[in-house]
Amino acid sequence: MDSIVQFENVGLRYGTGPEALSDLSFTLFSGQFYFLTGPSGAGKSSLLKLLYLAQRPSRGMIRLFDSDLVTLSRDRLPGFRRRIGVVFQDFRLVPHLSAFDNIALPLRIAGMRDADLATPVREILDWVGLSARGDALPATLSGGEQQRVAIARAVITRPDILVADEPTGNVDPDMAVKLLRLFEALNRMGTTIIVATHDIHLMTRIKRGQMMRLEGGRLFDPTGALRYPPKPSDLRGWDGESR
């Protein structure tokens, strides 16, 4: 099992305040599904920022795709960011762009011609169940539809890693399950998934998921799988069930 992210004694401090994250050491493995949980203020959003390269650590070592991010030159960061999809709780859709154009945005930023992006965008709209809503502006979409557009935008470039911050926090329980099934389908295609959530019941829906729990900026690893990948035959999840 290949590692895709490695943290060693990582700490994060904002300004001169106390550390928001302390002594984080763990490994994430390619193609796995992880849930990040913990009480409010535990540091989940701070950890996600480190994972999607919006923040650099105050100390420690982070390796991503076999490269040391602490010493990585700034001109290489855009290429790394293109390999990471991000889904935010508040969607962050561009209000004056249609669902189609919001989803197409990462492809346009990467330099794809309009003539080439129509097919992949239409395919991803169909994948998230919004093939008839491509022309709709975000304000005319329901919360669940907006979140599906946000997911489609995050995965249109087929990222190696998908990071989702409370992606089901603004939708009803039925829609939350549907969104989680989209993540599960993407995971089956090989993408490593990290979902931050406080919903224990939601976590039980993905039987192969591993839990990362933060408390007070420190990581608790109930299975040990974040440090040493278990054998597939005896992999057990945070709830004790075989995966």
Mean pLDDT of the chain: 86
Residues of the chain with pLDDT > 70: what percent?
Answer: 90
Give residue 101's pLDDT. 97
Give me the half-sphere count of Cα atoms (radius 13 Å) on the Cβ side of residue 22: 9
Side chain identity at residue 20, one-letter code: A
The predicted model gives 24-32 an average pLDDT of: 93
- pLDDT 10s digits, 143-181: 889 989 999 999 998 899 999 998 877 777 887 888 888
- Mean pLDDT across 21-26: 94
For residue range 221-232, list pLDDT tens digits in order.
655 656 655 444
Mean pLDDT of the region 172-192: 86
Q: Which of 83, 46, 53 is nearest to 68 (CA)?
A: 53
Above 60 in pLDDT, residue 91?
yes
Q: State the pLDDT confidence band at 1, using cuts at 50, 70 and 90.
A: low
Domain boundaries, the chain: 92-158
pLDDT tens for 95-139 read 999 999 999 999 998 889 998 999 999 999 998 889 999 999 999
Among 47-51, 85-89, 188-192, 234-238, the least confident range:
234-238
Q: Is the pLDDT of residue 243 over 60?
A: no
Average of per-residue pLDDT across 204-230: 75
- 229 or 58, which is more confident: 58
> For position 99, what pLDDT does the model report?
97
Contact 113, 189 (CB under 8 A): no
Position 22 pLDDT exceeds 90 = yes
Rounded to the nearest 5 percent, the helix, strand and coil shares of the chain are 35, 25, 40
Rounded distance, CA 211 to CA 33, Å? Answer: 9
**For the ranges 46-55, 196-205, 228-237, which has the lowest average pLDDT?**
228-237
